[in-house]
Amino acid sequence: MFIKNTWYVAAWDKEVSTEGLFARTIIGVPVLMYRTQDGHITAMEDRCCHRGAPLSVGRREGDCVRCMYHGLKFNADGQCIDAPAQSRIPPQARVRKFPVVESHRWVWIWMGDPALADPALVPDTQWLDHPDWRSLDGYIHYDVNYLLICDNLLDFSHLPFVHPTTLGGSPDYAAVSPKVERLDNGVRITRWAFDTEVPPFAQTVRAWEGKVDRWNIYNFTVPATLLMDSGMAPAGSGAERGERKDAIEFRGCQAITPETEHSSHYFFAHPHNFALDQPDVTASVHQAVVTAFDEDRAIITAQQRSLALDPDFKMVPFGIDAALSQFRWVVARRIEAEAKAAMDAVQAPASIGPNVAVARP
Amino acid sequence: MFIKNTWYVAAWDKEVSTEGLFARTIIGVPVLMYRTQDGHITAMEDRCCHRGAPLSVGRREGDCVRCMYHGLKFNADGQCIDAPAQSRIPPQARVRKFPVVESHRWVWIWMGDPALADPALVPDTQWLDHPDWRSLDGYIHYDVNYLLICDNLLDFSHLPFVHPTTLGGSPDYAAVSPKVERLDNGVRITRWAFDTEVPPFAQTVRAWEGKVDRWNIYNFTVPATLLMDSGMAPAGSGAERGERKDAIEFRGCQAITPETEHSSHYFFAHPHNFALDQPDVTASVHQAVVTAFDEDRAIITAQQRSLALDPDFKMVPFGIDAALSQFRWVVARRIEAEAKAAMDAVQAPASIGPNVAVARP
Amino acid sequence: MFIKNTWYVAAWDKEVSTEGLFARTIIGVPVLMYRTQDGHITAMEDRCCHRGAPLSVGRREGDCVRCMYHGLKFNADGQCIDAPAQSRIPPQARVRKFPVVESHRWVWIWMGDPALADPALVPDTQWLDHPDWRSLDGYIHYDVNYLLICDNLLDFSHLPFVHPTTLGGSPDYAAVSPKVERLDNGVRITRWAFDTEVPPFAQTVRAWEGKVDRWNIYNFTVPATLLMDSGMAPAGSGAERGERKDAIEFRGCQAITPETEHSSHYFFAHPHNFALDQPDVTASVHQAVVTAFDEDRAIITAQQRSLALDPDFKMVPFGIDAALSQFRWVVARRIEAEAKAAMDAVQAPASIGPNVAVARP
């Protein structure tokens, strides 16, 4: 069960080209993406409406794609426009087309009702291509349900334990209680650690004297998007009051997109606003994040195996679960609401029945 | 669900020897085959009636096989005739024996009611060992349900798309509408393409001037047997009227045998009646077919993965599906009929009930 | 379904150390084992009560273990005693602790009701560390349900067939009918083969003149423990009357512990009381057993694959199945009794209902 009426990150912009055919499965649906000659991205079901062969192993023909099983040709709207030995193409010969928005390096896709696909709802990831920020593109694949990854990102108390040599720091970081605020479509988390140790990854990008004040302030919103203001400054320099001239800052952008119930895509970048002309610093920050995310994947995959042994396992809640519990609650409500709307839509015609019956003598 | 009362190809004759034990799973049943000293092939369930160990990892003892778990010995009829520490062998200590017919290089097996196993129903594949024809033996294994392979063979419009560099040819080949005739146990397909390009594989076996007329005329019958008259001749030479002296001809023999619901065996050969003393031509024809069938397997396996993502996927029918739709209809009717017969057999004794009741006062 | 109130072998003593964390799944439950500083072994659920991460990828902290996901710390009793950002630890924050007994080289674990875990019920495997006996430690992993391995060990008529070049011997060994006695918690099997051939493995440890009398006398008890007095002596030397001075003797200790419904752990050793100062003889005996057990695993795994093809397969019983049938009967009764006890425990409070109702006017 996934939320359908929401924007999912489907790809990094560079993954989808004008020549090729790019395939990725999103919330269980195989999707084909490619750019038409005008540079726009089109996304359609990667499953020929005829016998189900993947169009992505087909052939580009201009702005169209031809299925290389029986030769059906589809235009960029997913409509079949040519079929061998068939003069009249049935109008239902089409594959689903999905609304797509390309925005600041990410390709967002709407898997639900196209009528509801409002581009204004696409989150702002301006730091991914802003001239004042630098980052490298990250992607990793997970063999777990996406909610376990959300859980991980909604509680940074795991940093000193899972990432002691990268993003972590001293255990006191975990002892800080973050502020958790409910948003309409997720949660906002504010975590300040004052007078704490410089985490290992930050030691490689700059020299520090003494301890730092450190913050992670982020919105985590449906379906699974994390946008974060984070950084650190010399302890006592007033970063919490907005004094950031001696600080280093990041604008982490992360998005998890379910592939299936048991696997996930993870898109991420960690833009920084310092050492703009030092690609090795950017590379170093990126590598620290990649290493750390591999650490996350190891523990989460182990967790998944452990949970799979007992479907009835009951978790004991702790205070640190506040944010993830709220987020899971928001997700469950959205899925419920979509299920109810789908049921209402189906039942609406049936309500005509009684009226007709009343009209009878 | 598979048809049971039909002949399935179980093996190439050479696979079953007088010394060894040959194992192959057919419609979900593990089968052991071997030749007795008189050269006849015996086929029995490859699962000891005692504890289920495979007899095929056992030991030949003359015309018998001994299970190498606890030493039970079975004769060529599947009857247990020796057991350690057991003076009296229970008569129910036997494994199922399956009717087998060896005919023109193929070993056919009947997995249903032995009383219905009429050897006269075995299809004629005389070209596999006829002195006027040459071919090599083909076998490939598929990890898909056998019906997806049947679909492929029942619509040759895929040739220019899946096999552009082997069996294919120009796209106009796909534009030809074949004649489809219903047979009692399948369909007959007649496809003529006049004045079309010489397909790549045929260019390697002979020099051609100009275009050709090309035909594929085949019966596709249950369970999944394709017997085909195909070939090509110089365009306008009258092949469609039987004038074949300038033609090259083939008698394709193909059979798909389900291994399980999710995997299949594919037996094939492509006998030709020209260049009889040129083994390199025979090898070239065979290799073209093998390469092409690997192309089929690639697209069909991709199709299978795509379909598996959505069990509710509804295919949009096209005119080119006429033959495969008819064949699937025939298969479904046969399975229904067998299920009904099985149910009738079970319920027959119960019908005594009411009569007895009526006799009571 | 497994018996819960019984002692399972969880490990060889040497597998569990004072420094490390040792993980093994037992009857479907992930278990963490380690030794506290006083050398005692503690065993607890290897799944953090918070979010289910395995504690075995955590960190030892003295006699405690810290989960390296969010930093919860558990003492050797499985009680959570520290959690970041949490001043009060909820009392239900604990993982299950399992009773453990270390006895004669094996670590036994009780997966059921701790109140019933009587150390006196642990089988005596004194030969594993007795100065008059020598053996090496054996372990293999199986991808089959444990009962198929029990079946194998409950009927030694398979020896000449599965192990012709190791433990086996001439086929007459299989023709001997063993005596099978019902025990309260299993069966006792006595098998004497008089004037039989020296099995291959015994020829490598000593020179023999002529044939031998050979015996295998063992208890096979729940959950799946085999303790055996076996050996051989020159034919006619009176071993069956206790005259064993010219004999070689073994005290086989074997235990199968289910890992999951589809996989098993197999612990074994084969102590001998001769050539005590010849490690090469001990190694030779051990290697013969390992080779033979690999032969068992091959046939049992093939049997498992064969059985998996047909869940409805009905086995034909033979006389040689007497012991395994009785043992399976004992296991089934134990599981039934535990299920009934569990149901009675649940229903007991409900029985108050009617009494209360009666008290009403």
Kindly report the CATH number assigned to the domain that includes residue A55.
2.102.10.10
Over residues C279-306, the pLDDT tens digits come to 999 999 999 999 999 999 999 999 999 9
Q: B42-76: buried (b, 16+ CB within 10 Å) or exposed (e) per residue?
A: bbbbbbbbbbbbbbbbbeeeebbbbbbbbbbbbbb
Say if residue A144 is in the same domain as residue A195.
Answer: yes
Structure tokens at B66: 């001994």
Structure tokens at C298: 């091959």
Say if residue A135 is in the same domain as residue A41.
Answer: no
- CB pair distance less than 8 Å for B307 and A52: yes
Summarize the confidence of residues C267-272 as an average pLDDT. 98
Summarize the confidence of residues B22-46 as an average pLDDT. 98
CA-nearest residue to C86 within chain A is A319
Q: Measured between alpha carbons, how far is residue B72 from residues A202, B41, B62, C43 in Å?
A: 72, 21, 14, 45
A50–chain B Cβ distance below 8 A for any pair: yes
Q: Mean pLDDT of successive 10-residue segments in chain A (361 residues)?
A: 97 96 98 97 98 97 97 97 89 97 98 98 98 98 98 93 82 84 96 91 88 96 98 95 92 98 98 95 95 96 96 93 96 96 78 38 36
What pLDDT score was predicted for residue B355? 39
Q: What ipTM did this prediction achieve? A: 0.90
Say if residue C140 is in the same domain as residue C193.
Answer: yes
For residue A356, tell me if it sits in a domain: no
Judging contacts by C-beta atoms under 8 Å, the chain B residues touching residue A111 are none
- CB pair distance less than 8 Å for A175 and C85: yes
- CB pair distance less than 8 Å for A83 and B318: yes
- Give percent above pLDDT 70 in chain C: 96
Look up the pTM and report it: 0.91
Residues A97 and A119: beta-carbon distance below 8 Å: no
Say if residue A142 is in the same domain as residue A94.
Answer: no
- CB pair distance less than 8 Å for A305 and C66: no
d(CA B337, CA A229): 68
For residue C343, tell me if it sits in a domain: no
C partners (3+ CB pairs within 8 A) are A, B
Name the residue among B162, B175, B313 with its Cβ closest to that of A69. Answer: B162
Domains identified in chain C, total number: 2
Over residues B84-93, the pLDDT tens digits come to 878 899 999 9
Say if residue B134 is in the same domain as residue B239.
Answer: yes
d(CA A257, CA A6): 11
Domain end, chosen from C69, C102, C135, is at C102
Summarize the confidence of residues B351-359 as an average pLDDT. 39
What average pLDDT is seen over chain A?
93
A66–chain B Cβ distance below 8 A for any pair: yes
**C169 vs C217, more confident:** C217
Say if residue A13 is in the same domain as residue A139.
Answer: no
Say if residue C167 is in the same domain as residue C297.
Answer: yes
For residue B320, with 0-12 CB atoms within 10 Å meaning exposed, 13-18 middle and 19 or more buried, which class applies? Answer: buried
Residue A272 CA to its chain's centroid (Å): 20
Q: How many CB atoms lie within 10 A of CB B277?
A: 7
Domain end, chosen from C41, C68, C102, is at C102
Structure tokens at B315: 């295919």
B partners (3+ CB pairs within 8 A) are A, C
d(CA C183, CA A110): 67
Banded pLDDT at B204 (limits 50, 70, 90): confident
Say if residue C192 is in the same domain as residue C222.
Answer: yes
Name the residue among A313, A316, A320 with its Cβ closest to that of C85. Answer: A320
What average pLDDT is seen over chain C?
93
For residue B169, tell me if it sits in a domain: yes
Say if residue A194 is in the same domain as residue A220.
Answer: yes
For residue C232, tell me if it sits in a domain: yes
A213–chain B Cβ distance below 8 A for any pair: no
What pLDDT score was predicted for residue A360? 33
For residue A112, tell me if it sits in a domain: yes
Summarize the confidence of residues B315-321 as an average pLDDT. 93
Judging contacts by C-beta atoms under 8 Å, the chain C residues touching residue B260 are 309
Say if residue B97 is in the same domain as residue B181.
Answer: no
pLDDT at B233 over 60: yes
Domain end, chosen from A93, A120, A147, is at A120
d(CA B299, CA B293): 10
Chain C segment 242-261 residues within 8 A of B by beta carbon are none
Over residues C98-131, the pLDDT tens digits come to 999 999 999 999 999 999 999 999 999 999 999 9
Query: Which SS3 state, helix, strand or coil, does residue A271 take?
Result: coil
The domain containing residue C76 runs over which residues?
Answer: 20-102
d(CA A327, CA A263): 20
Structure tokens at C68: 């390296």
A partners (3+ CB pairs within 8 A) are B, C
Say if residue B15 is in the same domain as residue B159.
Answer: no
Summarize the confidence of residues C50-59 as an average pLDDT. 97
CA-nearest residue to C312 within chain B is B52
Q: What is the CATH number of the domain that holds C226?
A: 3.90.380.10
Query: Largest Cα–Cα distance in chain B?
Result: 91
Q: C315-326: buried (b, 16+ CB within 10 Å) or exposed (e) per residue?
A: ebbbebbbbbbb
d(CA B224, CA A81): 33
B316–chain A Cβ distance below 8 A for any pair: yes
For residue A350, tell me if it sits in a domain: no
For residue A198, tell me if it sits in a domain: yes
d(CA B49, nearest CA chain C) in Å? 6
d(CA A174, CA A168): 9
What pLDDT score was predicted for residue C130? 97
For residue A298, tell me if it sits in a domain: yes
Over residues B167-193, the pLDDT tens digits come to 876 777 778 889 999 999 999 999 999
Say if residue A58 is in the same domain as residue A197.
Answer: no
What pLDDT score was predicted for residue B40? 98
| Closest by CA position to C161, among listed B191, B82, A205 | B82
Residues B254 and B266: beta-carbon distance below 8 Å: yes
